[in-house]
Amino acid sequence: MGIAERKQRQQDEVRAAILAQSWQIVEELGWEALSIRRIADGIEYSTPVVYKHFESKDAILEAFSREGYVLLASQLSDAQQAGDAPEARLMALARAYWEFATQHPRHYQLMYGLGIPTCEMVREIREIKEVSDVLHTAIEEAIRAGKNPETDTHLKTTTFWSILHGLVAMSLIAVPGCPEKARLTLEDAINGFVKALMN
């Protein structure tokens, strides 16, 4: 291995250590406790080393947010394979979204702390666009299979995503409670949405 390759490998290892330490801080103390100083102390490097890899705490948060969208897009893509009927696919997407939020609450809080992504964010951040594209495609297929082919796909995709986010925020983030009742609420809301979309 040459000097350049060794140097790059060391840089990659430091970057990975920064992210691992950051995640440990978040898991133990929450997002608000994350700081460049605390990360540097944890990996036993100076703060300039951390800044060499990430220009700010926000850059670290963006890395985790992108990671979350990659995980969510993967789960949604898998769920999209469920059955041939558009209704079944939309319900599978809703359940996969819900499961992502329950399995990855720290990622979800970071990704959606300020609500669903804006149109500009969807256009500019590839990882968010991948999630949006999966949802958009499923809604488009349901509209084509329904009785109102003139329905606004963008509007219905935003509505679908808003329903999912709102239910997750109410049930899992704001007021954690009975998971079974929350799941039934999700299914009831999505069933109503699908009926309205396709009839």
Average confidence score pLDDT of the chain: 87
Please state, in angstroms and rounded to a whole number, the distance separating the CA atoms of residues 116 and 165: 7
| Distance, C-alpha 49 to centroid of its chain | 29
Task: Return the pLDDT at 16.
Answer: 94
Please state, in angstroms and rounded to a whole number, the distance separating the CA atoms of residues 101 and 192: 21
List, in sequence order, the alpha helices (H) in the chain: 3-29, 36-43, 47-53, 57-79, 86-103, 105-112, 119-124, 126-145, 153-168, 179-198
Please state, in angstroms and rounded to a whole number, the distance separating the CA atoms of residues 66 and 19: 13
Percent share of the chain, pLDDT over 90: 53
Residues 36-94 have pLDDT tens digits of 999 999 999 999 999 999 999 989 998 999 999 999 999 999 998 877 788 899 999 99
Residues in the chain: 199
Please state, in angstroms and rounded to a whole number, the distance separating the CA atoms of residues 107 and 128: 13
Structure-model confidence comparison of residues 188 and 117, the more confident one:
188
Q: How far is CA 111 from CA 18, 46, 72, 74, 121, in A?
A: 20, 29, 10, 15, 12
| Distance, C-alpha 168 to centroid of its chain | 12
**Domain range list for the chain:** 3-55, 62-198
Task: Return the pLDDT at 123.
Answer: 78
**What is 3-55's CATH number?**
1.10.10
Report phi then psi at 151, rounded to 5: -60, 140
Q: Tokens 């608000």 identify what position?
A: 32
CB 87 within 8 A of CB 138: no
Q: pTM of the full predicted structure? A: 0.82
Please check whether the two domains, 3-55 and 62-198, share a CATH topology: no
Q: Classify residue 33 by its DSSP letter.
A: G
CATH 3.30.70.1880: does it fit domain 62-198? no
Residues 100-132 have pLDDT tens digits of 998 998 888 888 875 566 677 777 888 888 999
Structure tokens at 56: 């700010």
